[in-house]
């Protein structure tokens, strides 16, 4: 089963040690959605990996027998692959997922550049007036801060991200290690959680809990 090994930073064909499957009964050939979780060992470094797959349909093999189709395996342990909330706009998700893909294959400079792209997309998302696609990263961060979308601490993280993104995006002798690239990626993910996911939850909470105004 193909899965990304966190240790080897490569896609490997994991050896299956055991599988638990739910919601799909091959005997009944039910169409219900199901999933399966498999314990794998990496054929290169022998580290354990837990893979998760969704039921993706049925097909007939050359013999005419039914065969279950599963989605590509996603690593859920160790270091789970990114699961992004639907509250984060698609264009930002794309950059974050790319940044994480770069991390898994040890392409750290590319990861920092993609993390910066995600931050730039946040600025453009909240930009008021003018053409958002012309908004540069630095101006976008200042605007997020000025409009109180990010607080002092996130502003500081954003500025550090901006500086490092510039070093990664332009030809320079700057080297980014795994730790730096991962930290910058985590800062960008935290900013997204704060401005999209938690803000969204808070508004819903307020709407639920605030006493309804009644007109007398
Ligand atoms: Zn491995």
pLDDT digits (tens, 9 = 90+) for 112-127: 999 999 999 999 999 8
Distance 118 CA to ligand 1 centre (A): 29
Distance 16 CA to ligand 1 centre (A): 14
Q: Which residues surround ligand 1, an ion (CB under 5 A)?
A: 5, 7-8, 42, 44-45
Q: Is the dihedral of CA 91, 96, 99, 100 positive or negative?
A: negative
Inter-CA distances, 154 with 43, 151, 181, 189, 195, Å: 41, 5, 17, 11, 10
Inter-CA distances, 131 with 127, 141, 195, Å: 8, 16, 21
If you ran DSSP here, which 8-state letter would residue 28 be given? T
Q: Is the dihedral of CA 116, 118, 121, 127 positive or negative?
A: negative
pLDDT digits (tens, 9 = 90+) for 3-56: 989 888 888 999 999 999 887 665 655 555 688 999 999 999 999 999 999 888
- Unique residue bearing structure tokens 């320079």: 172
pLDDT value, residue 3: 92
What residues does each domain of the chain span?
Answer: 2-77, 90-208
pLDDT digits (tens, 9 = 90+) for 139-177: 999 999 999 999 999 999 999 999 998 888 887 777 888
Return the CATH superfamily for domain 90-208: Nucleotidyltransferases  domain 2 (1.20.120.330)
- Unique residue bearing structure tokens 């899965």: 3
pLDDT digits (tens, 9 = 90+) for 42-96: 999 999 999 999 888 778 878 888 788 888 898 999 988 777 888 889 889 999 9
If you ran DSSP here, which 8-state letter would residue 170 be given? S
Neighbours of 172 (CB within 10 A): 10
């Amino acid at each position: 089963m193909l899965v990304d090994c966190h240790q080897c930073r490569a896609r490997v064909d994991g050896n299956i040690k055991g599988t638990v499957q739910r919601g799909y009964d091959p005997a009944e050939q039910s169409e219900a959605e199901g999933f399966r979780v498999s314990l794998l060992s990496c054929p290169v470094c022998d580290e354990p990996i837990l893979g998760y797959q969704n039921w993706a349909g049925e097909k007939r093999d050359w013999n005419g027998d039914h065969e279950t189709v599963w989605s590509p395996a996603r690593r859920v342990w160790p270091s789970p692959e990114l699961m992004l909330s639907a509250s984060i706009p698609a264009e930002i998700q794309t950059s974050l997922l790319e940044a994480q893909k770069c991390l898994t294959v040890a392409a750290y400079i590319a990861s920092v550049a993609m993390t910066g792209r995600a931050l730039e997309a946040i600025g453009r998302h909240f930009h008021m007036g003018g053409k958002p696609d012309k908004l540069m990263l630095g101006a976008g961060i200042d605007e997020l801060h000025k409009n109180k979308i990010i607080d002092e601490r996130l502003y500081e993280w954003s500025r550090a991200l901006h500086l490092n993104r510039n070093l990664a995006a332009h030809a320079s002798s700057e080297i980014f290690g795994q730790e730096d690239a991962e930290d910058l990626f985590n800062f960008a993910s935290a900013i997204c959680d704060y401005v999209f996911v938690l803000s969204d939850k808070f508004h819903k909470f307020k709407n639920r809990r605030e006493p309804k105004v009644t007109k007398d």
